[in-house]
Amino acid sequence: MKRGYVKLYVLGISMFVLLLANLFIFKIANPYIISGLLFLFLIATIITLGIEKDNFRYKKDVFLNIVIILLIYYFLTYFFGLFTGFLKSSYSLKLVNIFKNAFPILLVIVLSEFLRYIWVSKSKENKIGLIVGYLGFLLIDVCLMLNTYDITSALGLTKMICLVVFPSITKNILLTYVTYKVGYKNCIFYRIIVDLSVYILPLFPDFGEYINVILETVLPIIIVIRLNNLFNYYDLRKIKESRYTKKNLIIYSVITFALLVIVTLTSGYFRYYALTIGSGSMTPKINKGDVVIVKKLKDTEIYDIKKGDILVYNHDDKIIVHRVNKIIKNNGQINFKTKGDNNNTADSWQVKQDEVIGIVKFKIRYIGMPTVALNELLNG
């Protein structure tokens, strides 16, 4: 192993471990502190690995393509906002407050993208180094949102994964790709437009947070596909290999579709959603770690629930998945008695109409075990 790679691994793993410790132990989300951490790593990286001159071709072409795609993106989203309505920004638009809110994030952007540039330039022939760096930048995004979502709760962890991790995955793929091809300047520009717009723009289309996250997840993939085609066009050696462009398009499309399905099913925003089972009360029909697909019921559909259906409902701020073993109708109202298949006795309470969420349609065995294990780890 080359000596330079050893230094690269040591720096990368150190940053990754420290960010991981922050995620689960220190839980620091202050952007100034994270900027300080990035600055220290940047200095250590420059001293240890050095820095290469930013001497890339096609920077202007990449910049132009990013600008065009962002203009189209914002035009379309605000156009459809005419039909869905708009939300007023929750941030003050006074110049002083804009600076106060945006400056710490700007620091994180500049430092992280400069660090990414050095990291990528030193890892071009080392896939492991690129992956370690990529995961580190992914963790930075997560750490910045620790004050927004409580990852010690199942709901908070799910929201963090859906609303932060998924968009960050595709965003960092784009930023790493652009850095690899043309350096850091276009990445800084992209992030200033996308990440700081929340502090600058007065109105935003009211799509709902989960539709927004789908858009934020797809946008970087669209840009990657466009830039990949651009570089294939410019590189004469790759023109004959244009079939790979189609192959990449298929791969990106599959990844995008998979992410959309995951976000859709885990969000709870749509008619069907996925729910991880955290107990064994429904064994053997549904085991701990299984994921069930829940069909949310309208008020009129609650009357169609039959004895034997597996009901999903809220009780004492907990989501319970138990089987209906008795239906109680009284003066037009309908309540349910439920029991876990693996429990000796029925539940002591009655489930009211307004507590019903939906019914289980089908299950997927054990794919939720990582979520269960992580939740148990966080909650002791």
Q: Which helix (H) or strand (E) holds 272?
A: strand 272-276
Query: What total of structural domains would you count in the chain?
Result: 2
User: Which of 154, 173, 208 is the last residue in one of the domains?
Assistant: 208
DSSP notation for 302-366? GGG--TT-EEEEEETTEEEEEEEEEEEEETTEEEEEEE-TT-SS--SS-B-GGGEEEEEEEEETT
**Closest alpha carbon to 176 in 110, 109, 241, 131:** 131
Q: 202 and 305: one domain?
A: no
| pLDDT tens string 51-109 | 887 777 788 889 989 998 998 888 888 877 766 767 878 888 888 999 999 999 999 99
Q: 191 and 320: one domain?
A: no
Contact 324, 305 (CB under 8 A): yes
Phi-psi region of 183 (alpha: psi -120 to 50; beta: other; left: phi over 0): left
Strands 272-276 and 291-296: antiparallel
**Residue 242: per-residue pLDDT:** 47
Decide if 113 is inside a domain: yes
DSSP state of 147: T
Between 368 and 277, whose confidence is greater?
A: 277
Angle subtended at Cα 143 by Cα 141 and Cα 144, rounded to the nearest 5 degrees: 65
pLDDT at 2 over 70: no
Query: How many other CB atoms are found less than 10 A from the CB of residue 40?
Result: 13
pLDDT at 239 over 50: no
CA distance 132 to 346: 50
CATH number for position 295: 2.10.109.10
Decide if 216 is inside a domain: no
| pLDDT tens string 246-266 | 566 566 666 666 666 666 665
Q: 174 and 323: one domain?
A: no
- For the ranges 158-162, 222-226, 237-241, the maximum mean pLDDT occurs at 222-226
Decide if 237 is inside a domain: no
Least confident of 25-29, 324-328, 338-342: 25-29
Structure tokens belonging to residue 217: 């997840």
Instruction: At 34, give phi and psi (nearest 5°).
Output: -65, -35
User: Which of 208, 224, 241 is the last residue in one of the domains?
Assistant: 208
Domain extent for 174 = 3-208
**Residue 247: per-residue pLDDT:** 61
pLDDT at 380 over 70: no
Structure tokens belonging to residue 213: 């996250």
55 CB-contact burial (10 Å; exposed 0-12 / middle 13-18 / buried 19+): exposed
CA distance 159 to 161: 5
**Residue 192: per-residue pLDDT:** 95
Q: 189 and 294: one domain?
A: no
Mean pLDDT of 309-325: 94
Q: Which helix (H) or strand (E) holds 41?
A: helix 31-49
Contact 368, 277 (CB under 8 A): yes
**Residue 266: per-residue pLDDT:** 59
Q: Which helix (H) or strand (E) holds 273?
A: strand 272-276
DSSP notation for 186-200? HHHHHHHHHHHHHHH
Q: 301 and 157: one domain?
A: no
Decide if 232 is inside a domain: no
pLDDT at 375 over 60: yes
**Closest alpha carbon to 328 in 310, 353, 299:** 353
**Residue 253: per-residue pLDDT:** 64
Mean pLDDT of 333-352: 95
Decide if 213 is inside a domain: no
Contact 183, 57 (CB under 8 A): no
User: Which of 159, 177, 208 is the last residue in one of the domains?
Assistant: 208
Decide if 344 is inside a domain: yes
Q: 84 and 194: one domain?
A: yes
Mean pLDDT of 178-186: 93
Between 49 and 174, whose confidence is greater?
A: 174
Q: What percent of the chain has pLDDT over 70?
A: 88
pLDDT band at 356 (very low <50, low <70, confident <90, very high): very high
Decide if 229 is inside a domain: no
Residue identified by tokens 């600055």 is 39
67 CB-contact burial (10 Å; exposed 0-12 / middle 13-18 / buried 19+): middle
Per DSSP, helices labelled H in 183-242 are: 185-200, 209-234, 236-239
Mean pLDDT of 295-311: 93
Q: 115 and 193: one domain?
A: yes
**Residue 275: per-residue pLDDT:** 86
Decide if 248 is inside a domain: no
Averaged pLDDT of the chain: 86
Q: 53 and 146: one domain?
A: yes
